[in-house]
Amino acid sequence: MEFKIVNVEPPRDCNLILGQSHFIKTVEDVYEALASSAAGIKFGLAFCESSGECLIRHDGNDAELHEKAVEAAQNIGCGHSFIIFLKGAYPINVLTQLKVVPEVCGVYAATANPVQVIIVETEQGRGIMGVIDGAKPRGVEDENGIKWRKEFLRKIGYKT
């Protein structure tokens, strides 16, 4: 057994979603869930099939994000994992729809941060053990931090 770390950095002004799924139909169903989630969304997605031909299945409506998703999936290379790069929407806009896709088993990360995917490789294949999302906390928010957070969420329209 060997542990590896794969660094994944979302393209500029993008978010990523990394998860696990279980069936070849994943790509089509995830595409439909994303496309119907937010007007103007741009995305690329790739799914690592772990049986049959064991191919990276992929799709998207943005050529650059599509290519980046395939590249990230090749680097991660874990069975039944998928990665999505989003532009023009945030994970909060698509996670509910994504989680109800019958093939989706779970989500490891949904972030604009660079992530490190912790992988274990055995004689059978590779699996995701966990994800390091961004940096560790530098402290605890004070009253100014609370005020900033509340104002920011209202400024960007997520709270009224």
CATH classification of the domain holding 30: 3.40.1520.10
Establish if 74 belongs to a structural domain.
yes
> Residue 112's closest CA among 131, 138, 85?
85
pLDDT at residue number 156: 84
Tell me phi and psi for residue 153, to 5 degrees: -60, -35
Give the model's pLDDT for residue 160. Answer: 87
pTM: 0.93
Q: Which amino acid is at 101?
A: V
User: What is the number of domains present in the chain?
Assistant: 1
The position carrying tokens 């943005």 is 62
Can you give the pLDDT at residue 2?
96
Boundaries of domain holding 100 = 2-155
CA distance 54 to 60: 20
Q: Is residue 6 in a domain?
A: yes
Identify the segments of the chain with pLDDT beneath 70.
none
Look at residue 56 in the predicted model and tell me its pLDDT.
97
Q: Is residue 160 part of a domain?
A: no
On whether residue 13 sits in a domain, the answer given is yes
